[in-house]
Structure 1
Amino acid sequence: MFHDAWMPHKQLGFFNQPNQLKNKTARKRKIEMKTPKAIATLTLILFCLGLAHSQQTPENYPTFSNAVYQGNDNVYNDYPLADGEFYNPILQGCYPDPSITRKGDDYYMVTSSFAMFPGVPIFHSNDLVNWTQLGHVLDRKSQLKVADTGISAGIYAPDIIYNPHNDTFYMITTQFAGGIGNMVVKTSDPREGWSDPIKLAFAGIDPALFFDDDGKAYVIHNDAPEKALYEGHRVIKLWEYDVSADQVIKGTDQVIVDGGVDISQKPIWIEAPHIYKKNGRYYLMCAEGGTGSWHSEVIFVSDKPTGPYVPADNNPILTQRYFAKDRKNKVDWAGHADLVLGPDDRYYGVFLGIRPNEVDRVNTGRETFILPVDWTGAFPVFENGLIPISPKLKVPAGVQNKTGQEGYFPNGNFTYTETFQSEMLDYRWIGLRGPREDFIATSQKGLEIRPFAVNIKEVKPISSLFYRQQHKKFSFTATMDYSPSSEKDLAGITCLQSEKFHYVFGITRKGDEQYLVLERTENGVSTLVGSDKLTANGPVQLRVEAKGDAYRFSYATKGGDFQNLGGGVSGDILSTNVAGGFTGTLIGLYATTANDVKPE
């Protein structure tokens, strides 16, 4: 799924004032106080340190007492669920490149996370309809080294698989950061955490593991050909894998697919391979066409895991590329799939797709869909995957739809309210390039964000807590109590596609007065959309609303009516069509002491 190259960046740190103050204080304690003058000098130093520290007291940290996300897409109003139905996608918002595995009655699914921290969200289900998030596979700095990388680098296309021969789960992926590359982590129980990464000695992307019935193991992945014949020409390679050493076996690599289904047609971006064994034969399923409008899923078969692999004569087995561009409730870009045997002994496939807005922009990003798979013939075919994908599906036999209830992940239209009073922060809240715990704290008042001296435009860990945009029509409202100390302080909300494309809507200072500002940043160039002087003290409600491509930012003080700032603005910069990259829009609670937004 990686179609461009990023250059490595120099490792960057960030200023941690409390630690530096602690170290300074420790050094001062070593001063020998032999004279009254020394005592007076030390007293003055300590007083100044105390004054500096007082300027960063918790009273000056922005505190968010609640946040409410509400989605209200027309498609869910137009297609209400009947008994025995559930909505597709099953994971709305930026959850792309799904991979799924099964152990007994337990299903585990992971998706890409790029530079989000923690990385690789992992979900659990017993029926493929009702899902809970267990947490993240990569939740430690020792596993995830994305502190100095762009938002669309980091973790790509994770593959999760259970090996019954040693009762172990594996997650293999490519980490475009920290000098890691291809890597694998493992665990005996996905609920109990994962190992540190084991670097793998091969190039390319999109690795997956396959464990054969005889205990032998293989890695398959996308790679560059020895000589590229055209733009987008790629190959699928296979290696034997040493399970005891967790490494590919040197010299066993071979190309098992060159170009794609038919190289004479110059197919592009063959990638995301998976091998399945059924009735003694080996099936290789791959994405083809690139993660865009020509995306598809194709299938090959062989009598041996090492090939040769022959393409099916009915490829592709999943795509949305042949239909009218203006079709209603359009789902597009379908591909990058993985198969699993369902609870009703039928196969199902999870895959990515998009739901563009009315001007064909992709603000919610690539989402996770599911379809039943008909494998009664020689090759699997996604049921209704070669016609426009419907927003509703029938549940597997004997399954009850409980999405949004009893702790299960919601889908369709829903309201999510966060008061930040729980002992554990909901897993849907994520950081960018660094752990949430480095900048958040909870109190009886709510969630405090302890701002870094880092701007949202920088490629560093930022002090912002994000929630994915999951609907085309939504509102997000946060209640914040904050009094900035200087023009360098700002806190509020943000809608972010990347470090170069985003909106910032927050409170800062100009002289002795507080201002609410709205800034638009497009390709790194920032423009002040509007600013209002704040005359009321106390908590402020900040809101962003979207109806497709039309976004509006508003605020309310002391329980008053919401006032718009900046009029209607375009969501163009929040779309991958404009911003590029691979992520969807992230809505953030943001604070910084490196603000550069200047009110008028």
Structure 2
Amino acid sequence: MKKLSTILLIICTLHLFSTVHTLGRQENAPLFSQVIYQGNDVVYKENPLAEGEFYNPILQGCFPDPSITRKGEDYYLVASSFAMFPGVPLFHSRDLVNWTQIGHVLDRKSQLKVSRAGISAGIFAPDILYNQNNDTFYMITTQFAGGVGNMVVKTRDPKQGWSDPVKLNFSGIDPALFFDEDGKAYVVHNDAPEEALYEGHRVIKIWDYDIEADQVIAGTDKVIVDGGVDISQQPIWIEAPHIYKKDGRYYLMCAEGGTGDWHSEVIFVSDHPRGPYLPAPGNPILSQRYLAKDRKNKVDWAGHADLVQTPEGQYYGVFLGIRPNEKDRVNTGRETFILPVDWSGEFPVFENGLIPMQPKLSLPEGVQNRTGQEGFFPNGNFTYTETFGSDPLDYRWIGLRGPREDFILFTEEGLKINPFPATTKEQAPVASLFYRQQHKNFTFTTHMDYLPASETELAGITCLQSEKFHYVFGLTRAGSDYRLVLERTEDGESKVIGSEVVQVNGPLRLRVSAEGDAYRFSYALPGGAFVNLGGTVSGDILSTNVAGGFTGNLIGLYATSANDIRPE
């Protein structure tokens, strides 16, 4: 009995220690009371909107691989999210100009298995499609994480949540569904050929799809495009296929050329959904690859498109593109653009999609530009202010590899971020709340109330392209001193490029700003002016040109209990 009492006492003591330790961490968690993001790009200053115009891209920042569908008057759009959590941002519009983010398709751990994924793994190329035969929306995608692979989820109402995934029995990437008028369904996707003839050689396959079982039908797979438009020219990375039906014929639209400066969109036609498909004589129907490299306000890498038809019969296409900075680097990532599509002839053509794209478009007839108003996503140069005064959190804020709710805590004073024992260098969930960089020129300023207790604790700002390429700017402890540090990590190698002891007597203001490739990290003590730390640093490691991968720069409010930054 005495032994049992001793064991119970030890268990209670350990539980009390754990509780006190957890509460202590929460009490010592950094408090972020405000964020102000301001975009200030020259292109918008030089091209102010006139009556009847709106800006392109419609979604600025890292919203790549868009897919779009319509039910009645309602349009829904999704984009790739990789290892971001929640996954697959979901937008709604009634006019193709004014968009509201209504959530994410994959917002539960049962749907998204990215906790150990690299930032550019996870969710690739989601396809959203409404099936009028059974009044159901489908989202099919490839999840490179957790052993999932190709998968599908569905819902009757995109605003009310989506099912858990069904794993699909085929390999390859970029799957898309097609529902024919006769009730039959098909899946098309990119896959490897039986024998690769050259690097980048891929094929497009089709399967019959069992709607009741939500599964491809074994043995029905067929190659319908080998290589691309003309295999004798060794085209690379035929991918992102979509089938559309018009006037009784079937049109297969695909991306070709890889998701870089040779990117394009091509089209094929057939009398049957399973082919054979013949390429249009005028391919590509969308590309920026033939244009002068030094063109003003350059949009590049255009492709990976999807089409939608309005109730009035007009076609539009959404697609990805990039807007590089003055050093031709891509820090904002691949963004979502839109163009009207002329389908008055046999094949669709993106209007002005083969000449230099302009920053403005004409509004569709009867539409008013309300971007940035009434809850619609902002566009152009704008200021976004977040006070963290309400739960739930705005959908623009995302986590990495795990839910935001695992580390955020709303208080009357602002938002606390409870630190994880993980850093930005790890392929693990990070206690960081991220906002996408949406402009070449921007400032991101936050108020942080925080006193680290040891050198293993740090909180502040991170600018992150990946776990191997990023900056960390934060407050930590060095002996009895509070010290601000700036660390640059390039290809996994880290170096402290700024360090300064500060007398913390209240909330700090932390800021990162950029003018193209030139980034600056600054701080301000209560009542004081901003002071730069580390000088002007290059944004090279925040670009896909240097870091690789598929994301744009993510600006994060960050906390860790495993800090390894040690200034000399």
What interval of TM-score do these two structures reach, taking the shorter chain for normalisation? Answer: over 0.9
Question: 1 CA distance for matches of 2:198 and 2:18?
Answer: 63
SS in 2 for 1:413: coil
Match of 2:510 in 1: 542
Unaligned 5+ segments in structure 2 are none
Are 1:210 and 2:178 matched, yes or no? yes
Counterpart pick for 2:84 among 116, 128, 143? 116
SS in 2 for 1:191: helix
Match of 1:392 in 2: 360
Are 1:467 and 2:432 matched, yes or no? no
Alignment of 1:410-421 (within 5 A): 410-421=378-389
Question: 2 CA distance for matches of 1:46 and 1:232?
Answer: 56
Q: CA deviation at 1:246?
A: 0.6
Match of 1:75 in 2: 43
Contact 2:136–2:155, Cα closer than 8 Å, also in 1: yes
Match of 1:504 in 2: 472
Match of 1:279 in 2: 247
Alignment of 1:355-374 (within 5 A): 355-374=323-342
Alignment: residue pair count:
567
TM-score (normalised: structure 2): 0.98
Alignment of 1:295-374 (within 5 A): 295-374=263-342
Question: 2 CA distance for matches of 1:533 and 1:186?
Answer: 53
Are 1:192 and 2:160 matched, yes or no? yes
Distance 1:31 1:361, change over 3 A: farther
Are 1:222 and 2:190 matched, yes or no? yes
Question: 2 CA distance for matches of 1:423 and 1:524?
Answer: 36
Alignment of 1:384-533 (within 5 A): 384-533=352-501
Q: CA deviation at 1:55?
A: 3.7
Contact 1:484–1:509, Cα closer than 8 Å, also in 2: yes
Contact 1:127–1:343, Cα closer than 8 Å, also in 2: no
SS in 2 for 1:264: helix
Question: 2 CA distance for matches of 1:39 and 1:301?
Answer: 74
Contact 1:116–1:151, Cα closer than 8 Å, also in 2: yes
Contact 1:128–1:342, Cα closer than 8 Å, also in 2: no
Are 1:289 and 2:257 matched, yes or no? yes
Question: 1 CA distance for matches of 2:282 and 2:527?
Answer: 61
- One-letter amino acid matched to 1:113: S
Match of 1:256 in 2: 224
Distance 1:392 1:44, change over 3 A: closer
Match of 2:521 in 1: 553
Per-residue CA distance 1:19-52 (angstroms, 9 max, x = gap): xxxxxxxxxxx98548xxx999899767755764
SS in 2 for 1:362: coil
Question: 2 CA distance for matches of 1:588 and 1:208?
Answer: 33
Match of 1:27 in 2: none
- One-letter amino acid matched to 2:130: Y
Distance 1:470 1:257, change over 3 A: same
Contact 1:235–1:258, Cα closer than 8 Å, also in 2: yes
Question: 1 CA distance for matches of 2:177 and 2:21?
Answer: 54
Q: CA deviation at 1:344?
A: 4.4
Contact 1:64–1:480, Cα closer than 8 Å, also in 2: yes
SS in 1 for 2:347: coil
Question: 1 CA distance for matches of 2:201 and 2:539?
Answer: 34
Question: 2 CA distance for matches of 1:517 and 1:175?
Answer: 36
Distance 1:379 1:41, change over 3 A: closer
Give the superposed CA RMSD.
1.6
- Identity, % of aligned positions: 75
Question: 1 CA distance for matches of 2:548 and 2:243?
Answer: 31
SS in 2 for 1:76: helix
Question: 1 CA distance for matches of 2:13 and 2:436?
Answer: 48
SS in 1 for 2:464: strand
Question: 1 CA distance for matches of 2:8 and 2:292?
Answer: 81
Contact 1:454–1:593, Cα closer than 8 Å, also in 2: yes
Contact 1:93–1:469, Cα closer than 8 Å, also in 2: yes
Q: CA deviation at 1:225?
A: 0.4
- One-letter amino acid matched to 2:212: S
Per-residue CA distance 1:404-441 (angstroms, 9 max, x = gap): 00000001000000000012100000000000000000
SS in 1 for 2:557: strand
Q: CA deviation at 1:455?
A: 1.2
Contact 2:59–2:335, Cα closer than 8 Å, also in 1: yes
Question: 1 CA distance for matches of 2:214 and 2:20?
Answer: 54
Distance 1:252 1:599, change over 3 A: same
Q: CA deviation at 1:456?
A: 1.0
Per-residue CA distance 1:494-530 (angstroms, 9 max, x = gap): 0000000000000000001100000000000000011
Alignment of 1:374-385 (within 5 A): 374-385=342-353
SS in 1 for 2:97: coil
Q: CA deviation at 1:342?
A: 2.5
- One-letter amino acid matched to 1:367: E
Match of 1:125 in 2: 93
- One-letter amino acid matched to 1:276: Y
Match of 1:143 in 2: 111
Question: 2 CA distance for matches of 1:39 and 1:461?
Answer: 34
Contact 2:482–2:504, Cα closer than 8 Å, also in 1: no
Contact 1:107–1:126, Cα closer than 8 Å, also in 2: yes
Unaligned 5+ segments in structure 1 are 1-29
TM-score (normalised: structure 1): 0.93
SS in 1 for 2:115: coil
Contact 2:269–2:277, Cα closer than 8 Å, also in 1: yes
Contact 1:344–1:396, Cα closer than 8 Å, also in 2: no
Contact 1:344–1:397, Cα closer than 8 Å, also in 2: no
Per-residue CA distance 1:140-194 (angstroms, 9 max, x = gap): 0000000011000000000000000100000000000000100000000000000
Contact 1:506–1:517, Cα closer than 8 Å, also in 2: yes
- One-letter amino acid matched to 2:562: A
Q: CA deviation at 1:53?
A: 4.8
Match of 1:60 in 2: 28
Distance 1:43 1:136, change over 3 A: closer
Q: CA deviation at 1:59?
A: 2.9
SS in 1 for 2:541: helix
Question: 2 CA distance for matches of 1:85 and 1:200?
Answer: 43
Question: 1 CA distance for matches of 2:22 and 2:64?
Answer: 43
Q: Which stretch of structure 1 is more off in the superposition, 339-348 or 296-305?
A: 339-348
Question: 1 CA distance for matches of 2:201 and 2:23?
Answer: 60
